[in-house]
Amino acid sequence: MSGTCSYDYEVGQYEEKFDPKVTNYLVSLDESAIEKKITGVELQENCYFLKNATYKGKLANYSDKAHGYKFYEVEGKKIYEINVVWVEKGGKKTEPLLSCSGKWLACGAFSLSGECATSKYVYPGSFLVYTLCELNNDKNP
């Protein structure tokens, strides 16, 4: 997340408002965007999700109703791997925590509002989850 974001929302309201904007943007990414920096999604004025992240492509091993996208983001000397996962209604619960060749930040998986995910799984029809792994500096994507 970059910029100044206001989280002055009740639990779930932030995700309800902004998750569709993020998922629509991610679904619109095609293969020509792979290995390129993306503009990200402006959630609020001066508040972006995935701004200047490098798109690495879709995550494998997901059903047709489960979606996963991989990105890398550089902040100063730190490199982060970000995976964004959600499951449509009618899909199967999915585990968002993939392998991390560095270290998971805090709880590892977060809702769009930055709250730690409270379940090991992403359930059908629930909000999107993103994972955040700080890579070792020698693991340049």
pLDDT beyond 70 at 52: yes
State the average pLDDT over residues 13-30.
93
Q: Where in the sequence is the domain holding 12, given as residue range(s)?
A: 2-135
Residue 140 is assigned to a structural domain of this protein: no
The C-alpha atoms of residue 83 and residue 80 are separated, in whole angstroms, by: 10
CA distance 34 to 31: 5
Domain for residue 29, yes or no?
yes
Prediction pTM value: 0.88
Residue 99: what pLDDT? 74
Q: Which residue has the higher pLDDT, 72 or 137?
A: 72
Given the structure tokens 């001066």, which residue do they identify?
46
Percent of the chain with pLDDT over 70: 92
Task: Give the residues across from 48 on adjacent strands.
Answer: 2, 42
- In a domain, residue 39? The reply is yes
Of the pLDDT bands very low, low, confident and very high (cuts 50, 70, 90), residue 71 is very high
Burial tier of 48 (Cβ tally within 10 Å: 0-12, 13-18, 19+): middle
Kindly tell me if the per-residue pLDDT of 50 is higher than 90. Answer: yes
**Which residue would you say has higher pLDDT here, 61 or 9?**
9
CB burial of residue 138 (10 Å; 0-12, 13-18, 19+): exposed
pLDDT at 1 over 70: no
Question: CB burial class (10 A; 0-12, 13-18, 19+) of residue 84?
Answer: buried
| Residue 28, CA atoms < 13 Å, CB-side half-sphere | 10
Is residue 141 situated within a structural domain?
no
pLDDT by residue (tens digit) across 78-112?
Answer: 999 999 999 999 988 888 767 788 888 878 788 88
Q: What total number of domains does the chain contain?
A: 1
Q: Is residue 88 part of a domain?
A: yes
